[in-house]
């Protein structure tokens, strides 16, 4: 079985995460798929950033939701990584999608909820991308369910960590997880490897659902997941991990 390696926020071990430079480097290093995080700005544009505040990666302590695209485009999203990345800009979703090669796929993680879906629908419907190139993921169950309803031809996966708060035991049994995914009406999960066993992967696959895993940088752990026959592994070091596997 060929496990898909997904470059987490691009080739983020080397380049500033969630930037065109990071995604482009991932494609240059042979990535089949990348993952990026997306928020809605105050003026209704979708930009690529993990946090809901620009402080960590741009040095300005201000929520994305109250900034316009023009304001965010003035920020430096690279110098925090290294001086050589100075003046790297925050990209929009459309700019990120334009980096996709014909064979490429992107896991679009929706960090915002609600109004972001209307703008997303416009971008997707007006673009040239094939359904198999755009996969949607989200922690919010209502959001990922609505995404699947709006984009039935695209894969949509529910993001989760199968652990009870402050406890290490699983929140869901394999059967309960399958039931939850079916309740959401989505195509599978994108799950943190904590508490993940072959029983979960088998249960999901037997139900016709996909089992994807985030975020794994260790090759030994990745090999164990490959042995479980997970469908994809998201990693911060896609080029390195692909070579080791």
Report the sign of the C-alpha dihedral through residues 64, 236, 23, 127, in that order: negative
pLDDT at 218: 96
Confidence band of 2 (pLDDT split at 50, 70, 90) = confident
Across the chain, mean pLDDT equals 97
Residue pair 49/70 in contact (Cβ under 8 Å)? The answer is no
Separation of alpha carbons 94 and 19, rounded Å: 12
CATH code of the domain in which 226 resides: 3.20.20.190
Cα separation, 171 vs 162, whole angstroms: 5
For the record, the structure tokens of 49 come out as 């950033």
For the chain, how many structural domains are there in total? 1
**Residue 1, pLDDT above cutoff 80:** no
Q: Nearest to residue 50, comparing CAs of 85, 87, 22, 14? A: 22
pLDDT > 90? residue 167: no
pLDDT for res 184? 98
Rounded to whole angstroms, the Cα distance separating 81 from 107 reads: 23
CA separation for the pair 45, 120 (Å, rounded): 9
Q: Is the pLDDT of residue 132 over 70?
A: yes
- Is 114 a residue whose pLDDT tops 80? yes
Q: Give me the phi and psi of 63, to 5 degrees please.
A: -65, 145
78, 240, 215, 207 alpha-carbon torsion, rounded to 10°: 140
Tell me the pLDDT band of 166, cut-offs 50, 70 and 90: confident
Question: Residue 223's pLDDT is what?
Answer: 97
Residue 15: Cβ-neighbour burial (10 angstroms; 0-12, 13-18, 19+): buried
Average pLDDT (48-59) is 98
**Does residue 7 carry a pLDDT above 90?**
yes
Residue 84 confidence (pLDDT) above 70: yes
Lowest mean pLDDT among 89-93, 149-153, 167-171: 167-171
Instruction: Give the percent of the chain with pLDDT over 70.
Output: 100
Q: How far apart are CA 242 and CA 245, in angstroms?
A: 5
Q: Give residue 156's domain range.
A: 4-244
> How far apart (Å, rounded) are the C-alpha atoms in residues 128 and 164?
41
């Amino acid at each position: 079985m060929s496990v898909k390696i997904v470059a987490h926020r691009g080739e983020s071990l080397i380049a500033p995460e969630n930037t065109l430079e990071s995604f482009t480097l991932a494609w240059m290093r042979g990535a089949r798929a990348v993952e990026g995080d997306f928020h809605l700005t105050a003026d209704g544009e979708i930009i690529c950033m993990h946090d809901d505040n620009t402080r960590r990666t741009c040095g300005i302590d201000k929520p994305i939701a109250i900034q316009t695209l023009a304001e965010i485009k003035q920020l430096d999203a690279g110098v925090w990584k290294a001086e050589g990345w100075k003046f790297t800009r925050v990209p929009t979703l459309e700019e990120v999608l334009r980096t996709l090669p014909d064979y490429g796929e992107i896991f679009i993680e929706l960090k915002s909820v609600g109004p972001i879906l209307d703008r997303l629908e416009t971008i997707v419907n007006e673009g040239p991308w094939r359904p198999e190139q755009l996969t949607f993921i989200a922690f919010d169950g209502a959001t990922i369910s609505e995404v699947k309803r709006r984009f039935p031809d695209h894969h949509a996966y529910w993001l989760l960590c199968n652990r009870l708060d402050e406890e290490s035991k699983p929140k869901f049994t394999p059967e309960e997880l399958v039931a939850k995914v079916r309740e959401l009406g989505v195509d599978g999960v994108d799950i943190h490897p904590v508490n993940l066993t072959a029983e979960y992967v088998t249960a999901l696959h037997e139900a016709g659902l996909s089992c994807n895993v985030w975020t794994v940088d260790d090759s030994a752990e990745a090999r164990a997941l490959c042995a479980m026959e997970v469908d994809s592994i998201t990693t911060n070091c896609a080029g390195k991990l692909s070579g080791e596997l």
